[in-house]
């Protein structure tokens, strides 16, 4: 399978560079959101323990 055949197969399934970037962006957003929530909860717990 050549590179052109591979790209043609991907586009036949609807996989485009834009779709890949969109999914990657959503995934990175979920990771960063989870980290920020965990960080905020950790800081909150530490503040409660100090009181």
Residue 1: per-residue pLDDT? 83
- Integer Cα distance of 40 and 8 in angstroms: 45
Q: How many domains does the chain have?
A: 1
Residue 5: per-residue pLDDT? 93
Residue 42: per-residue pLDDT? 97
**Whole domain around residue 20: which residue ranges?**
3-50
Which of 25, 30, 31 lies closest to 17 in space, CA to CA? Answer: 25
Residue 28: per-residue pLDDT? 98
Residue 14: per-residue pLDDT? 87
1-49 pLDDT, tens digit per residue, is: 899 999 889 889 988 889 999 999 999 999 999 999 999 999 999 999 9
Which of 27, 30, 26 lies closest to 38 in space, CA to CA? Answer: 30
């Amino acid at each position: 399978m050549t590179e052109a055949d591979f790209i043609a197969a991907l586009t036949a399934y609807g996989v485009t560079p834009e779709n890949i970037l969109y999914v990657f962006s959503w995934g990175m957003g979920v990771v960063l959101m989870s980290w920020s929530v965990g960080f905020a909860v950790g800081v909150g717990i530490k503040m409660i323990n100090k009181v």
